[in-house]
Amino acid sequence: MNFDLSDLRGFLAVADLGSFSAAAQALHLSQSALSRRVDKLELALGVQLFERTTRRVELSTIGRGFLPRARNVLNELESALIGFHELAYRLSGEVTIACVPSAVAYFLPDVIRQYHAKYPGIRVRVIDESSSAILTVVARGEADFGLTYIGTQDADVVFQPLLEEAFVVALQVGHPLTERASLTWDDLTGVDYISLAQGSGNRFLIDQALANRDVRPRSFCEVKHVPALVSLVEAGLGVGVVPKLAMPANGHATLVTRPLTDPSISRTLGLISRRGRALPPVAQLLFDSLMAIGK
C-alpha cells in the first residue's frame, strides 16, 4: 500500500483534535499539506476515513474502526525503535506536555535535557498555562499529558500525585519581615501585598483557606501567573504568597522565603493524562521520568 507513517500521524492528529486546522498546527504543517496526507491514506486504503462538512470533521464508521489499529501500529513501532539505541537516536515526532508556570523551573529542565540527549529527533513542546487551561488541553487531547495540581475529581483525566508543596511568603532580601523565622497571615496585613488574580487555581486555594477569616491581606497589585509575582517581589514592590517550588533553588541574591502559618496552605502537584487512553511510547518515557522525581 502506498502510504507511510507520516500519513498515519496526520490521520491520528485529525481524529484526536477533530479539526484539520488544529491538527495541522500541532504537526507544524500547512492545512493543505495535511489534507494531502489524509487523502493519500484514504486513497491507499480505498475507504473514506472522515466525513467532512463545512463546520466540522468526524470519523466515518470505517475511520472509527481503523483508529485504534493505526494508533497501535505507531505505538508498536515506536516501542520497537526505543529498544535499539542507534534507532532510538533517530526517532522523530513530538511530545506535548502542559505545565503550570510555577512548576516549570523545578521539574522540566533536567528531565527535558536528559530526554533530548537520548532522543534528539523528538521535539518537546511545553504549554505553560493556568491549571484550568491545562485540564482542558489534556482532556481534549491537545497535550499528551499535564503537570498541574487540579484534576483529582475530573472524570476525563487520571491524576497521579508527585509531591506535596507548601505555600511560602516571597520577600526581597532586607525587607523588615525577613527578621522573623516564620510569618502568619496577620503579619501580611500591614505591608505592600501582591496577589494572584481571581480565577487562577492558586488564588482559589488561598481564598479557600482564608474563607473563614475576617481580616486578610489587601493587595495593591495582582498578576495572573506566579513567575510574574516573583519578579515583582524581586524588584522590591512588595511581598507575595507563592508555591515554594516557584522560588529560585539554592539561595538567591535578592530573594528569600519564610514559612507561612495560621493557616498553612499546600497543594498536591501531579501528572494528569486522558482516562482510557494509553500514552504514545515516546510520551510515556517523558511521563515516567517526571514520575521518578516524586519517588
Intervals of the chain under pLDDT 70: 1, 54, 81-91, 152, 295
Work out the number of other CB atoms within 10 angstroms of the CB of residue 2.
Answer: 8
State pTM to two decimals.
0.72
Mean pLDDT of the chain: 88
What's the confidence (pLDDT) of residue 207? 92
> What amino acid is encoded at 232 in this protein?
L
The reported pLDDT for the residue numbered 263 is 93
Supply the pLDDT for residue 164: 93
Question: What percent of the chain is modeled with pLDDT above 90?
Answer: 46
In the prediction, which pLDDT does 87 show? 52
What are the sequence ranges of the domains in the chain? 1-73, 166-266
The C-alpha cell at 44 is 491507499
Express each pLDDT in 194-239 by its tens digit: 999 988 889 999 999 999 888 789 999 999 999 999 999 999 999 9
Topology, domain 1-73: Arc Repressor Mutant, subunit A (1.10.10)
In CATH terms, the superfamily for domain 166-266 is: Periplasmic binding protein-like II (3.40.190.10)
In three-state form (DSSP H/G/I as H, E/B as E, the rest C), the secondary structure along the chain is CCCCHHHHHHHHHHHHHCCHHHHHHHHCCCHHHHHHHHHHHHHHHCCCCEEECCCCEEECHHHHHHHHHHHHHHHHHHHHHHCCHHHHCCCCEEEEEEECHHHHHHHHHHHHHHHHHHCCCEEEEEEECCHHHHHHHHHCCCCCEEEECCCCCCCCEEEEEEEEEEEEEEEECCCHHHHCCCEEHHHHCCCCEEEECCCCHHHHHHHHHCCCCCCCCCEEEEECCHHHHHHHHHCCCCEEEEEHHHCCCCCCCCEEEEEEECCCCEEEEEEEEECCCCCCHHHHHHHHHHHHHCC
| Nearest-10 Cα torsion for 180, 218, 246, 125 | 180
pLDDT of residue 290: 93
